[in-house]
Amino acid sequence: MFAVDEDYLPSWNHLGAAVAAGGPAAFERAHGVPMFRYMGTNTRLNRVFNNAMVQQTMMVISKLLERFKGFDGISVLVDVGGGTGATLEMITSRYKHIRGINFDLPHALSEAPAMPGVQHVPGNMFEEVPYGDAIFLKSILHLQNDDDCIKILRNCHRALPEHGKVIALEIVLPAIPEATPVAQNPFRFDVIMLNNFRGGKERTEQEFAKLARDSGFDGEFGSTYIFANYWALEFSK
């Protein structure tokens, strides 16, 4: 419902100007402020967005828990940009030894319910990130330009112990795209990022690996295919 919401859909009318002139993204041109700042003032749209993210999270995280084995040995997992906490609720329900810290902007946490084993912590990922054994980023990096990705990842690096890691769950573009519907789908998301966020984009695995190195993660880089072009990427210190 978010994609056709009355407060979101008109942003597409500004995409041509955003591409031709650069500067603010189409959504920002439509509303005068960046998308997440706007949702901090529009309670109804924020609720619609959070509900959409919960539904998408349930589908993708259920596949993650089937196929990804990188949560073993983690005691404290910080979900940066975790919204209402749906991701951590699913992870900590499966891995009961993990204590979760759900970290997001205050308006994103405003409707987050209390849940066992999860602490909701307000804050800004561009300033600092809570300490944990590992940090989870679901669909965060594709919202940012490269410089902002590096800012976030360096904050994550500082918040991790020796041999700690970031687990980034992201759509990954194929290095050599094919003319098939499956290959084309991630590029549709790339256009959505172009519409919504200044500098937002999907990336190839090689581009994610470079972001990790440029942010100080010089340990092992791992990737596990999850579902529908989503990959779990591990950046280790």
Token pair of 169 as six digits: 């769950």
Residue for token pair 């994103």: 108
Assess if residue 180 is contained within a domain.
yes
pTM of the model: 0.89
Task: Give CA–CA dist 85/234, Å, rounded.
Answer: 21
Look at residue 55 in the predicted model and tell me its pLDDT.
85
Residue 180: the pLDDT is: 80
For 111, 133, 143, the CA distances from 73, given in Å and listed in that order, are 30, 9, 29
> Considering the domain boundaries, does residue 217 fall inside one?
yes
Residue 183 lies in a domain: yes
Question: Residue 86 belongs to what domain range?
Answer: 43-236
Residues shown for the chain: 237
Number of domains in the chain: 1
* R_g over Cα of the chain: 17
Is 29 inside a domain boundary? no
pLDDT in tens, the chain (237 residues): 788 889 899 899 999 999 999 889 999 999 999 998 998 899 999 889 888 888 888 899 999 999 999 999 999 999 999 999 999 999 999 999 999 999 999 988 988 999 999 999 999 999 999 999 999 999 999 999 999 999 999 999 999 999 999 999 999 998 887 778 777 788 888 888 888 988 899 999 999 999 999 999 999 999 999 998 999 999 999
Give 204's strand partners: 173
Distance, in Å, from the CA atom of 40 to the CA atom of 146, rounded to the nearest integer, reads 24
Judge whether 133 and 159 are in contact, CB under 8 Å. no
200 in helix, strand or coil?
A: coil
Domain-located, residue 1: no
Element (H, E) at 236: strand 230-236
Report if residue 108 sits inside a domain. yes
DSSP H or E run through 182: helix 181-196
CB-side neighbour CA atoms (13 Å) of 53: 18
Residue 5 lies in a domain: no
Residue 120 is predicted with a pLDDT of: 98
Q: Is the CB of residue 73 less than 8 Å from the CB of residue 50?
A: no
Question: How far is it, in rounded angstroms, from Cα 110 to Cα 132?
Answer: 23
Q: Is 78 helix (H, G, I), strand (E, B) or coil?
A: strand
Domain assignment of residue 216, yes or no: yes
DSSP string, 20-59: HH-SS-HHHHHHSS-HHHHHTT-HHHHHHHHHHHHHHHHH
CATH number at residue 97: 3.40.50.150
Q: So which residues are the catalytic ones?
A: 142, 170, 202
Phi-psi region of 216 (alpha: psi -120 to 50; beta: other; left: phi over 0): left
Contact between 43 and 37 (Cβ < 8 Å): no
Spatial contact of 160 and 217, defined as CB atoms under 8 Å apart: no
